[in-house]
């Protein structure tokens, strides 16, 4: 199989507030940036034998990103099948547990695509209305527990 780079702007984050075995995902509206961060805590295991560090059992996993703000013509926080800043505001204020997924924006995986999925909550939301640029919101989703990673297999 040939190697390939992900196409620019082809990977995004999807969320679902419907916690089930088959969540119904909606895409974050107009994403401009996305980062998936993992960090393992470190145990200081220094002794009289010398310095030492060990990997801890705890790990922090976060998804951070930026999206443009779109305003709908209804009072619903979801429009056009996309999650708006208003929905993210509801999720952070209500401490709602969500399903999250990182994968192709098309929603269709092809061989070699990497998809990550898990549960978590919106832990940070910052909204910006600059005078000379588009309005955006920065979000952080903190994962609860472990996540799964699937690499789409080649077709035969």
Q: What structural domains does the chain harbor?
A: 14-41+52-151 (2.30.110)
Span 69-80, average pLDDT: 70
d(CA 138, CA 42): 28
Distances (CA, A) of 107 to 26, 75, 103, 115, 142: 10, 27, 7, 10, 22
User: Which residue did the predictor score with more confidence, 44 or 36?
Assistant: 36
For residue 1, the model assigns a pLDDT of 53
């Amino acid at each position: 199989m040939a190697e390939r780079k992900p196409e620019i702007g082809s990977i995004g984050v999807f969320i679902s507030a419907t916690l089930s075995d088959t969540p119904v995902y909606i895409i974050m509206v107009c994403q401009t940036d996305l980062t998936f961060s993992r960090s393992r805590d470190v145990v200081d295991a220094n002794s009289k034998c010398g310095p030492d560090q060990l990997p801890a059992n705890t790990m922090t996993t976060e998804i951070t990103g930026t999206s443009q703000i779109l305003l709908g013509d209804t009072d619903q926080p979801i429009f056009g099948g996309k999650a708006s800043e208003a929905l993210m505001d509801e999720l952070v204020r209500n401490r709602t547990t969500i399903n999250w997924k990182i994968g192709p924006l098309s929603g269709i995986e092809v061989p070699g695509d990497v998809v990550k999925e898990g549960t978590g909550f919106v832990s940070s939301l910052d909204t910006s209305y600059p005078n000379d640029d588009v309005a955006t919101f920065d979000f952080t989703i903190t994962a609860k527990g472990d996540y799964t990673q699937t690499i789409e297999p080649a077709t035969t």
